[in-house]
């Protein structure tokens, strides 16, 4: 059975709907459904790094012909990749959203402007690096910056050298390295895909959503690769290794590792910067500070400080909450070093005044360890019994992971939803109503009520599964 059967898509839509409508936002602020490398992540993603080689962008119009990818067929069908993207993918709105009133207010607040009319987010390089196809200054900027926001070449690479050959009969037989030499960025490998996504959805040194930008009104970047990929209107087909029924489990684990690596690189950059305030508040649990002051409150109970000293800063609650579980599938003995290094990093970051040099060194160390494990996870095959054990292990460890904060609870939900879908692909008998209802019940308390940008009703409730 194909891993993305129509039945499973419907199930996945139900599972992710309540969670994603309320808490997940694309980078432009619209809520929607839901060898070791030690060098920094690309400053502006794969496409921008290729642009630096002086290749010329060709624009989305070069893909839009009915003889190419604009076939106007059913969503996701072969030959209709452009049509699917332009009609259904919200990445097409990335640039236009900068003209909205909310974007103007964010720009006004961030740049300390006197009024909204003088705010132009659509010309701010910081915004354009993620909201436009080509934010590099040069003769092509005016031509392509408005080219449907995040266009084909944003992900697949500057097309000047490969546009005329990628449809040739021998293209698929070429290896990825040969394609990269032409400026093409292969996207079939989950690790390649995830590492490109995180450059905007987690951030890099020059594409940073820090506390200043969040305070100005920009949504917090809560990225979870498996969930984002599941709800995207796909203009591609999963083939080869990605057609295996363990796809959802691997996608979740790969996404956790890739996101953590990007977050660690960003942490290392922030800790080395002398120009910005330290520590950077965006590294911590937002809702530890931004919440209603109510009496009585579960926050007043000593027991909610799980794994940290009362009064300390809750660090890394989103990108590292499930990382130990994501690494569980690896039999590599180095996993212990990742967990211990991350624990030491957490201990230092939760101090009132973390040592910046020590933080940078340890963040780089953990990121380097994760680089090798990311490659291994991409190649891993999971049997049904292993995924079942993984699922039960996450539920067993839930009190430790999710009891203290909303971030942990949300990440537990997303992990269980991904593994539930993987189990359903392996054996349709796993798609039972009780478990699906249990997952839906988990999602409900995670919602943000109308008028709130925080989970007003959420509080730790423990493991309420009925199965």
Q: Please say whether the beta carbons of 44 and 135 come within 8 A.
A: yes
- pLDDT average, residue stretch 334-338: 72
Condensed to tens digits (0 to 9), the pLDDT of residues 172-220 reads 999 999 999 999 999 999 999 999 999 999 999 999 999 999 999 999 9
- How many other β-carbons are positioned within 10 Å of the β-carbon of residue 50? 25
Write down the pLDDT at residue 16.
40
- pLDDT average, residue stretch 450-458: 84
Write down the pLDDT at residue 26.
29
Q: How confident is the model at residue 67 (pLDDT cuts 50, 70, 90)?
A: very high
* Three-state SS at 322: coil
Q: Is the pLDDT of residue 426 over 90?
A: yes
Q: How far is CA 412 from the centre of its chain?
A: 15
Condensed to tens digits (0 to 9), the pLDDT of residues 274-303 reads 788 899 999 999 998 888 888 888 888 776
* Three-state SS at 236: coil
Q: How far apart are CA 288 and CA 464, in angstroms?
A: 24
Q: Is the pLDDT of residue 166 over 50?
A: yes
Dihedral sign, Cα of residue 231, residue 235, residue 240, residue 241: negative
**Close Cβ partners of 118 (under 8 Å, ≥ 6 residues apart):** 108
Task: Look up the pTM and report it.
Answer: 0.86
Q: Tokens for 243?
A: 């057609």
Q: How far apart are CA 13 and CA 425, in angstroms?
A: 15
**Close Cβ partners of 76 (under 8 Å, ≥ 6 residues apart):** 84, 233, 234, 235, 236, 237
Phi, psi of 64 (to 5 degrees): -90, -5
241, burial (CB in 10 Å: exposed 0-12, middle 13-18, buried 19+): middle
- How many other β-carbons are positioned within 10 Å of the β-carbon of residue 384? 16
Phi, psi of 140 (to 5 degrees): -85, -10
Phi, psi of 366 (to 5 degrees): -65, -40
HSE-up (13 A, CA, CB side) for residue 465: 16
Q: How far apart are CA 384 and CA 426, in angstroms?
A: 6
3-state secondary structure the chain: CCCCCHHHHHHHHHHHHHHHHHHCECCCCCECCCCCCCCCCCCCHHHHHHHCCCCCCCCHHHHCCCCCCCCCCCCCCCCCHHHHHHHHCHHHHCCHHHHCHHHHHHHHHHHCCCCHHHCCHHHCHHHHHHHCCCCCCCCCHHHHCCCCCCCHHHHHCCCCCCCCCCCCCCCCCCCHHHHHHCCCCCCCCHHHHHHHHHHHHCCECCECCCHHHHHHCCCCCCCCHHHHHHHCCCCCCCCHHHHCCCHHHHHHHHHHHHHHHHHHHHHHHHHHCCCCCCCCHHHECHHHCCCCCCCCCHHHCHHHCCCCCCCCCCECCCCCCCHHHHHHHCCCCCHHHHHHHHHHHHHHHCCCCCCHHHHHHHHHHHHHHHHHHHHHHHHCCCCHHHHHHHHHHHHHCHHHHHCCCHHHHHHHHHHHHHHHHHHHHHCHHHCCHHHHHHHHHHHHHHCCCCCCCCCCCCCCCCCCCCC
Q: How far apart are CA 38 and CA 25, in angstroms?
A: 30
- pLDDT average, residue stretch 325-348: 80
Q: How confident is the model at residue 329 (pLDDT cuts 50, 70, 90)?
A: low
Write down the pLDDT at residue 374.
92
43: DSSP letter: T
Q: Is the pLDDT of residue 441 over 70?
A: yes
The closest of 255, 201, 251 to 223, measured between CA atoms, is: 201
Write down the pLDDT at residue 53.
54
Q: How far apart are CA 86 and CA 68, in angstroms?
A: 14
Write down the pLDDT at residue 398.
83
Condensed to tens digits (0 to 9), the pLDDT of residues 101-157 reads 999 999 999 999 999 999 999 999 999 999 988 666 666 677 777 777 899 999 999
Condensed to tens digits (0 to 9), the pLDDT of residues 360-408 reads 999 999 999 999 899 888 889 999 999 999 999 999 888 777 767 899 9
Q: Cα separations (Å) of 408 from 255, 322, 393, 399, 418? A: 16, 8, 15, 10, 15
Q: How far apart are CA 265 and CA 234, in angstroms?
A: 29
Q: Mean pLDDT score of the chain, rounded to an integer?
A: 83
Q: Is the pLDDT of residue 100 over 80?
A: yes
Q: Please say whether the beta carbons of 212 and 276 come within 8 A.
A: no
Q: Is the pLDDT of residue 340 over 70?
A: yes
User: What percent of the chain clears pLDDT 90, i.e. is strictly above it?
Assistant: 62
Write down the pLDDT at residue 334.
54
Condensed to tens digits (0 to 9), the pLDDT of residues 39-58 reads 333 333 444 444 445 788 88
Write down the pLDDT at residue 413.
95
Residue showing tokens 């009133």: 101
Q: What is the CA radius of gyration of the chain?
A: 22
Q: How far apart are CA 82 and CA 89, in angstroms?
A: 10
Write down the pLDDT at residue 218.
97
């Amino acid at each position: 059975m194909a891993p993305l059967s129509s039945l499973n898509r419907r199930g996945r839509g139900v599972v992710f709907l309540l969670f994603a409508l309320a808490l997940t936002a694309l980078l432009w602020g619209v809520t929607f459904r839901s060898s070791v490398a030690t060098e920094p992540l690309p400053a502006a993603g794969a496409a921008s790094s290729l642009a630096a080689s002086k290749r010329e962008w060709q624009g989305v119009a070069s893909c839009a012909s009915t003889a190419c990818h604009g076939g106007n067929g059913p969503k996701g069908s072969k030959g209709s990749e452009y049509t699917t993207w332009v009609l259904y993918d919200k990445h097409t709105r990335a640039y236009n959203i900068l003209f909205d009133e909310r974007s103007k207010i964010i720009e006004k607040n961030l740049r300390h402007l006197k009024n909204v009319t003088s705010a132009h987010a659509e010309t701010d390089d910081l915004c354009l690096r993620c909201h436009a196809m080509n934010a590099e200054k040069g003769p092509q900027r005016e031509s392509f910056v408005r080219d449907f926001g995040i266009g084909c070449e944003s992900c697949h690479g500057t097309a000047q050298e490969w546009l005329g050959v990628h449809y040739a009969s021998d293209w698929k037989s070429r290896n990825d390295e040969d394609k990269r030499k032409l400026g093409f960025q292969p996207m079939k490998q989950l690790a390649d895909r995830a590492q490109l996504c995180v450059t905007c959805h987690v951030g890099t040194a020059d594409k940073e959503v820090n506390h200043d930008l969040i305070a100005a009104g920009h949504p917090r970047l809560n990225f979870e690769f498996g969930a984002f990929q599941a709800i995207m209107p796909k203009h591609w087909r999963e083939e080869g290794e990605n057609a295996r029924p363990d796809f959802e489990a691997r996608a979740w684990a790969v996404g956790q590792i890739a996101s953590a690596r990007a977050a660690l690189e960003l942490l290392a950059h922030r800790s080395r910067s002398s120009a910005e305030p330290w520590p950077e508040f965006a590294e911590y649990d937002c809702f530890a500070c931004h919440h209603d002051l109510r009496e009585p409150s579960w926050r007043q109970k000593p027991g909610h400080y799980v794994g940290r000293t009362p009064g300390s800063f809750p660090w890394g609650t989103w990108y590292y909450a499930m990382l130990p579980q994501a690494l569980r599938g690896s039999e590599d003995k180095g996993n212990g070093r990742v967990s211990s290094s991350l624990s030491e990093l957490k201990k230092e970051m939760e101090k009132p005044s973390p040592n910046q040099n020590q933080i940078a060194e340890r963040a780089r160390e953990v990121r380097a360890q994760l680089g090798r494990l990311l490659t291994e996870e991409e190649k891993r095959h999971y049997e049904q019994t292993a995924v079942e054990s993984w699922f039960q292990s996450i539920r067993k460890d839930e009190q430790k992971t999710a009891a203290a904060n909303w971030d942990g609870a949300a990440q537990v939900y997303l992990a269980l939803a991904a593994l539930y879908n993987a189990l359903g692909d392996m054996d349709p008998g796993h798609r039972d109503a009780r478990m699906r209802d249990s997952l839906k019940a988990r999602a409900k308390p995670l919602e943000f009520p109308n008028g709130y940008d925080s989970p007003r009703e959420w509080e730790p409730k423990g493991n309420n599964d009925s199965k």
